Amino acid sequence: MLRSSTAAAMGQAFVDVLCGFIAQGIIHSAPYGQDIVAAGVSTLVINTVHSLQELTKDKVEAAMTQNYTRCLLPDLQQRNRGSREAAVLLQAFEMGIYSIRNSYGEEHITIEQIQR
């Protein structure tokens, strides 16, 4: 998860804003029903990128290849000027990833917070 810390309106506090993510990994085939973690993560990643591109007016920098996706919203990263909709979509993505990790174990998903 890529985060940006920006000063709040009166300069008194800092706000930690999710501004993007990198998802990477190798998905090994597994018997039917045991590949739910990879399917869940892939669905969240693809849906979040497409939702940000289609449902917001924010600039979305996205790169998707096999086993790697990078998604960044520069306005959220640099000036916390991105839309509320984009921030909510990224928060929903984060909730979903944590839910999968909490349900299926930390050995399947590593979440790293990166401050920008």
CATH at residue 26:
3.30.70.1490
Which residues on neighbouring strands pair with residue 6, listed in sequence order?
A: 15
Q: How many CB atoms lie within 10 A of CB 9?
A: 7
Domain hosting 51: range is: 2-7+15-115
Higher pLDDT pick, 114 / 22: 22
pLDDT for residue 10 = 42
For the cut 60, the answer to whether the pLDDT of residue 8 exceeds it is no
Question: Which residues in 15-47 are b (16+ Cβ under 10 Å) and which e?
Answer: eebbbbbebeeeeeeeeeeeeebbebbbebbee
**Res. 42: pLDDT tops 70:** yes
| Predicted pLDDT of residue 11 | 45
Q: What confidence tens digit (pLDDT) does each residue in 83-106 have?
A: 999 999 999 999 999 999 899 878
Residue type, 12: Q
What strands, in cross-sheet order, belong to the sheet with 114-115? Answer: 61-65, 68-72, 14-24, 2-7, 114-115
State in Å, rounded, how far the first CA of the chain is from the last one. Answer: 10
| Dist CA 81 CA 42 (whole Å) | 28
The residue-averaged pLDDT of 35-54 equals 92
Query: What pLDDT sits at residue 94?
Result: 93
The answer to whether the pTM exceeds 0.85 is no
More confident position, 81 or 4: 81
pLDDT of residue 14: 43
3-state class of 71 per DSSP? Answer: strand
- Provide the number of structural domains found in the chain: 1
